[in-house]
Amino acid sequence: MTKRPAPPPPVATGITPSDDLLAWPTFWIYGLIFVLVLAVYAPSLHGGWLWDDDAHLTKPELQSLAGLSRIWFEPGATQQYYPLLHSAFWLEHQLWGDAVFGYHLINVLLHATAACLAGLTLRRLGVRGAWFAALLFALHPVGVESVAWISEQKNTLSAVLYFCAALAYLRFEDNRRRQAYALATGLFVLALMTKTVTATLPAALLLVFWWRRGRLDPKRDVAPLLPWFALAITGGVVTAWIERTLIGASGRDFALDPLQRSLLAGRVVWFYLGKLLWPADLAFIYPRWVIDPSSAAQYLFPLGAAAVLVALWLRARRGPLAGALFFIGTLFPALGFVNVYPFIFSFVADHFQYLASLGIFALIAAGGSAASAHWPRAMRASSFAVLTGLGVLTWRQAQTYRTPIALYEATLQVNRTAWMAQTNLAGALLQSGRVDEAVPHLEAALKINPNLPEAENNFGTCLRRLGRSLEALPHFERALQLRPGYLEALNNTGLALMDLDRIDEAIARFEAATRLRPDYSVAHSNLGLAFQRCGRIDEAIAQFAQAVHFRPAYATAESNWAASLTVAGHFTEAVLHFERAMQLEPQQPLHPFIYGQALLQAGRTDEALARFRRALELNPNFADAHYQLALALRQLGRDDEAQEHFQAARRRAP
């Protein structure tokens, strides 16, 4: 029977508990991290949906068990092929549906867990100041984008799995047992299925072994990690393919040659280091640099980074060199050598350095711990001050992630050239009914980038909301010219044509949208409205049924379906759909209003009164509801009350 090779003798690190800036019992440190993280991220717990959240969270067609199967076996069913992440979102949807608080709380708890595991990993490696590094990771404001933005649960969840895999592999490193290796490999695969930045873990482990022993043993250190490198490369290739083909990370905005990408990589490293050391002017979208090989100054970034690494190597500063290499190596997927879709807006983003930042935090903590041997009181005081300052900055930064409007307004204070922020702020203002405020932001976005289909579409929507549908049409057509098959613009073109009573043209646009995407429920509902307008009631009913089939909780389609059934003489059936619409959207005044009109048409005037009054409870300025209520009151001979509501309607809609 062959014997397992004996583990190497332990490396003398000279680390004792007193060397750590935070020499508390581990249990209390865990509690401290969780309490502090919950405190500084409290503002984000009550935040709403932000950009891209709707693309990441579980779509209605994926919310069943069959949908869960599609998440795993159908690349393209979700925005990115991260099946474990989207399975987590699927499970969260089963638990609390669309309640935003649950998603935010899970993300905050995952971040706190990742910080605890980071500290435990560093402690396991004998890094001085391990728990101080974990607190820097937990409280630094560059983490806010990853923690306060629901879409970035891929960062927090993958970090937890990354550190678990690292700890499991270090256990294998000690005992060389197959079970330990299998566990570590399984955790690594799960991490890759959550976010492929974790593909850097096997290289990080080799770096750790070199740092601890000053050399690498090909058989002991390298060979067991070769399958991990194969898995990492496979995951990276799949993600790169999806980014290019399914998400759109290709084209003119990504056309950088190797020299430009090298210049970009050098600048990215210094940018992220600067934000870690001085976290000022953090932004959701940073300015997009122009990478110009003819500019001598741009060569200083990669040359400076190389010079620092060479100096550390020549001076045999293994610890600082390992920390710097971990930082740069973990950043590699975001350095610009491979295309990622956010590069269309900016080459840098805070969430790209979520994991990598630990390398710098470990260096800072180790240096501080070494200095504390000479100046213990001063270092403890300065450590407390640093953590307090970072916590305050994180708390303030988390507030900007509460609403899309707050986020984009904060972004534009730092980066006025962020055309995406201008466009999305306009969209958020549109959704909140602040149409006039949206227009200047769309004008600014199109001035910065004249070829923005989203901005053209939103501009047209603003004009249509302002009652200027004829002026809106060219903007919708321009959006379709810039992006053929742009479903939202195609649908909006149909709505504008309906406003202008060009019903046949509107029907053609809606039908085109449903051909391009048969499950596009909004277009089916609007096509039903168009059929309803021209008296094709049976066809309208069929379209509303299709809309509800593809989107079972579609209240507007339910309400319009009921209205068409009323016209067709099927009022008893219509009642069920009216009630369903009000159940789905109890705060929407349109549903009781349309129900009231149907009741009035059916001769049930008393019941119609109750529905119109309910609509006015929800929106006291609803002029049409005042008018219809007045008509119903007049039918009942209550002329004085009717006159009051006629006057109220005139005041609100002269």
Asked if 272 contacts 335 with a C-beta cutoff of 8 angstroms, the reply is no
Structure confidence at residue 222 as a pLDDT band (50, 70, 90): very high
Position 168 in a domain: yes
- 11 occurs within a structural domain: no
Using CA atoms, how far residue 620 sits from 40, 487, 582, in Å, is 39, 34, 18
Residue 652: inside a domain, yes or no?
A: no
In a domain, 513, yes or no: no
Least confident of 127-141, 195-209, 582-596: 582-596
Asked if residue 270 belongs to a domain, the reply is yes
- Cα gap 361→433, rounded to integer Å: 44
Q: Where are the alpha helices (DSSP H) in 315-356?
A: 318-331
Tokens of 327: 């930082």
Q: What is the pLDDT of residues 269-293, one digit of tens each?
A: 999 999 999 999 999 999 999 999 9
pLDDT tier, 19 (very low <50, low <70, confident <90, very high otherwise):
very low
pLDDT at position 23 is 57
Quick one: average pLDDT of 373-397? 91
Mean pLDDT (whole number) for 476-496: 94
Reduced 3-state DSSP string for 557-584: HHHHHHHHHHHCCCHHHHHHHHHHHHHH
Cα 237 to Cα 214: distance, rounded to the nearest angstrom: 32
Query: Considering the domain boundaries, does residue 511 fall inside one?
Result: no
Among the ranges given (53-57, 99-103, 300-304, 346-350), the one the predictor scored with the smallest mean pLDDT: 53-57
pLDDT confidence of 638, banded at 50, 70, 90? confident
pLDDT at residue 206, as a whole number: 96
CB atoms near residue 553 (< 10 Å): 14
pLDDT of 403 higher than 50: yes
The reported pLDDT for the residue numbered 356 is 96
* Residue 542 predicted with pLDDT over 90: yes
Segment 286-302 shows an average pLDDT of: 94
Encode burial over 570-601: b for 16+ CB neighbours within 10 A, e otherwise. Answer: ebeebbebbebbbebbeebbbbbbbbbbbbbe
List, as one string, the DSSP characters of 432-469. TT-HHHHHHHHHHHHHH-TT-HHHHHHHHHHHHHTT-H
Quick one: pLDDT band at residue 604, thresholds 50, 70, 90? Answer: confident
* pLDDT average, residue stretch 537-549: 94
What domain range is 147 assigned to?
21-57+98-399
Is position 571 within any domain? no
Q: What is the pLDDT of residue 10?
A: 42
Region 375-383: what's the mean pLDDT?
A: 86
246 or 346: which carries more pLDDT confidence? 346
Mean predicted confidence (pLDDT) in 289-304: 95
CA gap 59, 29 in Å, rounded: 39
**How many domains does the structure of the chain reveal?**
1
Scanning 97-152, the segments in alpha helix (DSSP H) are 100-125, 130-139, 144-148
Q: Which residues of 173-202 are buried (b: 16+ CB within 10 A; e: fewer)?
A: beeeeeebbebbbebbbbbbbbbbbbbbbb
d(CA 92, CA 603): 46
Q: For the residues 80-99, what does the mean pLDDT come to?
A: 92
What's at 172, amino acid-wise?
F
What pLDDT does 20 receive? 53
In a domain, 206, yes or no: yes
For the segment 238-252, the average pLDDT, to the nearest whole number, is 80
- Tokens at residue 176, please? 């060389």
Confidence band of 24 (pLDDT split at 50, 70, 90): low
Tokens describing residue 242: 């999806």
pLDDT, average across residues 141-152? 96
Residue in the structure block whose two tokens are 């649960």: 153
Backbone angles phi, psi at 192, to 5 degrees: -60, -35
What is the pLDDT, as a whole number, of residue 18? Answer: 38
pTM for the model stands at 0.83
Q: In whole angstroms, give the CA distance from residue 453 to residue 98.
A: 29
Dihedral over Cα of 363, 366, 367, 368: its sign: positive
Give the pLDDT mean for 552-579. Answer: 90
Using pLDDT thresholds of 50, 70 and 90, give the confidence band for residue 109. Answer: very high
Q: Residue range 39-54: average pLDDT?
A: 90
What's the confidence (pLDDT) of residue 427? 86
**Mean pLDDT across the chain:** 90
pLDDT of residue 21: 53
Return the structure tokens found at 388.
């307090």
Residue 3 confidence class, pLDDT cut points 50, 70, 90 = very low
Hey, what amino acid is at 610?
A: A
- Collapsing DSSP to helix, strand or coil, 46 comes out as coil
Average pLDDT on 201-219 reads 94
What pLDDT is attached to residue 296?
94
Q: CB neighbours of 611 closer than 8 A, spacing ≥ 6?
A: 592, 593, 595, 596, 599
Query: Which tokens go with 201?
Result: 């873990």
Mean pLDDT of 536-560: 92
Residue 377 has pLDDT above 60, yes or no: yes
The pLDDT value recorded for residue 42 is 96
